[in-house]
Structure 1
Amino acid sequence: MSLQDDLKAAQRCLDELGRSVDSLEQHVGDTLDVRRVRADTDHLRASLAQLREAAPAEGPVAQPEVIRIPDKPYDDSLWSDVDDEGLGAKDRHAP
């Protein structure tokens, strides 16, 4: 399934949940628990809407650029102005 298919399926499930909560409210009445479930359903709808907005458009997926790192050692001059980590400077003694 594609992302869009999954989003549509989730939306259909949320719609069915909303209808079920409506039906439940008719049987149980407007109780605190039903209001809590309705609020949770509304939060899920809002979250799904945000996912839909953030979803990339359908089309070919861009491949990340591959950065090749050479196997040869780094140039030692890159490290001439730094201390050996945890050992102190070259011209001083460690504690």
Structure 2
Amino acid sequence: MSVHDELSSVQRCLDDLTRSVGRLEQQMGGGGLDMRRVRTDAEHLRESIGLLRAAVATQVTPGRPDLVTMSDTPYDDSLWIDTDDEGLGARDRRAP
């Protein structure tokens, strides 16, 4: 499953949890400290999933690097005056 599918599954489960907490709150009277903690925890989960969805939406797709345009114009020869050809030795000597 993709991350989007997993987040959707978590969201559905969280919606079920919220409905169940609401029904339980009606049955128990809803005024107790324990019930308020459960309701608050469910709300925190909803906020956390929202933040996670936002973070996933801003991520760059892995495995697909940004394209870099390479110019077809030749390099300036003055860039290579003080260098040797790697693996070929110096210009005035023979390679081993």
Per the shorter chain, which TM-score range?
A: 0.5 to 0.7
Deviations 1:36-92 (A, max 9, x none): 00000000000000000000469852267xxxxxxxxxxxxxxxxxxxxxxxxxxxx
Counterpart position of 1:92: none
Counterpart position of 2:23: 23
Counterpart position of 1:33: 34
- The separation in 2 between residues aligned to 1:43 and 1:50, in whole angstroms, is 11
Greater shift, 25-34 or 1-10, is seen at: 25-34
Q: Give the 3-state SS of the residue equivalent to 1:61 in structure 2.
A: coil
Name which structure has the greater RCO, CA cutoff 8 Å, separation 6+. Answer: 1
Change (3 A) 1:58 1:2: farther
* TM-score between the two structures when normalised by the length of structure 2: 0.59
- Post-superposition, which runs of at least 4 consecutive aligned residues in structure 1 deviate over 4 A? 56-60
Unaligned runs of 5+ in 2: 66-96
Does residue 50 (structure 1) correspond to residue 51 (structure 2)? The answer is yes
How far apart are residue 32 of structure 1 and its match? 1.1
Counterpart position of 2:63: 62
* TM-score between the two structures when normalised by the length of structure 1: 0.60
- Number of residue pairs matched? 64
Larger-Rg structure: 2
Percentage of matched positions with identical amino acids? 50
Deviations 1:6-53 (A, max 9, x none): 000000000000000001011111211111000000000000000000
- The separation in 2 between residues aligned to 1:13 and 1:21, in whole angstroms, is 12
Q: How big is the alpha-carbon RMSD for the aligned residues of Structure 1 and Structure 2?
A: 2.2
- The separation in 2 between residues aligned to 1:57 and 1:3, in whole angstroms, is 13
Unaligned runs of 5+ in 1: 65-95
- The separation in 1 between residues aligned to 2:33 and 2:26, in whole angstroms, is 14
